[in-house]
Structure 1
């Protein structure tokens, strides 16, 4: 059986209802490209602006580090689901007075991609 457009629309509306009241503000930290001083050629400090988005947040209760077949893997400290329309690619974000580094951004959704699962590693 195939998923129809009506099924996709229903899943999207049901997801919004499930997450109502369970979303939190996340601050995406947008860094302008590094520029150089026109006189000295020295790199200038990157300019950072921010964008507040509403997202479903899942915090993990501690780090898990494993070595499988000689490959080091580490779970994320936080998972933030942001709608694809609100997502802006960034390297860092703030949540609950903590700063995180983005370590993955897989796109998710059933039938069509509708959100980005932002995986973060706690910096401070």
Structure 2
């Protein structure tokens, strides 16, 4: 029963990833078609997006969904290969620690990008 709950969230995370990644690609990479920006991947536009708190939250949600979906899938693949309960326990601990570490690293990196972009945006508006 417990595994069913994790599998359901794995599927739910995959469906959410379709929408979140779709929005990310449309807004970030195909913005020229939607918003008539001539260079949607310019440094200024990228920093403008990074300066918005909503994008910080968006990227952290994207990171969490992607990590959960990918690492849970990896765990299931490894469980198919290794049937020993002792090895499976090591796999779970390793993937859990890896996921937590990558989530905090990615969240902190996104926070620093947000903080730096917000500071540069304030300086450019003050001029």
TM-score range for the pair, normalised by the shorter chain length: under 0.3
Identify, as 1 or 2, the structure richer in helix.
2
Identify, as 1 or 2, the structure richer in strand.
1
- TM-score using structure 1 length: 0.27
